């Protein structure tokens, strides 16, 4: 009996067909959504982050930066809201890593790994639920943005921006899932996340144009994928060049997923 259990576990993924993987993922998505319903406080970040960041940047920095843009606070609202949409994916991605690490430390993941389900299903379900949380946060952002004066002129561009942010956000989630597996506790994952996120967010075109930045920082922003995502969302939603930034963002998304997804799944399978 013991021998059968031990020998069956390593080949579980290989023996499980694709349809079963989809069924397992769907069941785990439902489980995670039910957990959110039982713990509504887990949605506070998705509700409060877009509200706080929008009000903070619009009313604290909107006047001065808006003048630099050739307008006022109204001009800055049109500039910053698409940028904040790009930021939502990064904030939600960090939450994936901390939540994943907590599930390991509380024994939830050990239970999942003892079940005859595809190991990848656990990770895909986690990403699917976090994408839903990200879409909810984006909806909150857009409601607040409209209330402070954002003008939605192209609904197709808005939907395309949301889809692009979701693609890039899901790629980042593989990075933070890997951190959640390899690091010892959620505090370490959160600290590492802030060390990564802060330079990427503020060294980008999310909050302000990059033309006035020092030359060395402009070089960094040119290669920062968040700048490309923010500029692509801005072009889609309020007008402007899109093609270059769109392809750069998609390229980053594909590269991050191709590199980090296999690493995350391998680390999850082999974590003792």
pLDDT beyond 80 at 259: yes
Q: How far apart are the first and last CA of the chain?
A: 22
**pTM for this model (two decimals):** 0.85
Mean pLDDT over 10-21 rounds to: 60
Task: Give tens-digit pLDDT for 123-179.
Answer: 888 888 889 999 999 999 999 999 999 998 889 999 999 999 999 999 999 998 888
Higher pLDDT, 237 or 71: 237
Average pLDDT, the chain: 83
Q: Tokens 């843009």, residue? A: 69
pLDDT digits (tens, 9 = 90+) for 202-237: 889 899 888 888 888 888 988 899 999 999 999 999
Nearest-angstrom CA–CA distance, 189 and 98? 6
Distance CA 257, CA 88 (A): 18
Give the pLDDT mean for 248-259: 95
Query: Is residue 152 within 8 Å of 76, Cβ to Cβ?
Result: no
């Amino acid at each position: 009996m013991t021998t059968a259990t031990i020998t069956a576990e390593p080949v579980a993924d290989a023996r499980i067909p694709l349809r079963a993987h989809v069924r397992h993922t769907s069941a785990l998505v439902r489980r995670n959504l039910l957990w959110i319903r039982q713990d509504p406080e887990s949605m506070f970040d998705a509700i409060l982050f877009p509200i706080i960041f929008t009000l903070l940047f619009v009313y604290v920095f909107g006047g001065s930066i808006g003048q630099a843009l050739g307008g006022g606070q109204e001009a800055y609202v049109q500039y910053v809201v698409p940028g904040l949409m790009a930021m939502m994916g990064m904030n939600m991605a960090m939450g994936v890593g901390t939540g994943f690490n907590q599930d390991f430390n509380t024994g939830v993941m050990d239970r999942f790994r003892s079940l005859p389900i595809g190991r990848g299903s656990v990770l895909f379900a986690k990403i699917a639920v976090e994408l839903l949380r990200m879409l909810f946060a984006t909806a909150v952002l857009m409601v607040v943005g409209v209330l402070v004066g954002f003008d939605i002129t192209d609904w197709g561009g808005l939907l395309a921006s949301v889809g692009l942010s979701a693609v890039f956000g899901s790629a980042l989630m593989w990075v933070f899932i890997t951190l959640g597996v390899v690091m010892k506790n959620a505090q370490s994952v959160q600290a590492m996340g802030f060390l990564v996120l802060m330079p990427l967010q503020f060294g980008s075109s999310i909050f302000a144009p990059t033309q006035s930045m020092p030359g060395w920082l402009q070089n960094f922003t040119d290669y920062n994928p968040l700048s490309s995502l923010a500029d692509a969302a801005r072009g889609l939603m309020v007008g402007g060049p899109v093609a270059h930034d769109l392809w750069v963002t998609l390229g980053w998304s594909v590269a991050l997923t191709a590199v980090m997804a296999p690493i995350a799944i391998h680390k999850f399978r082999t974590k003792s």
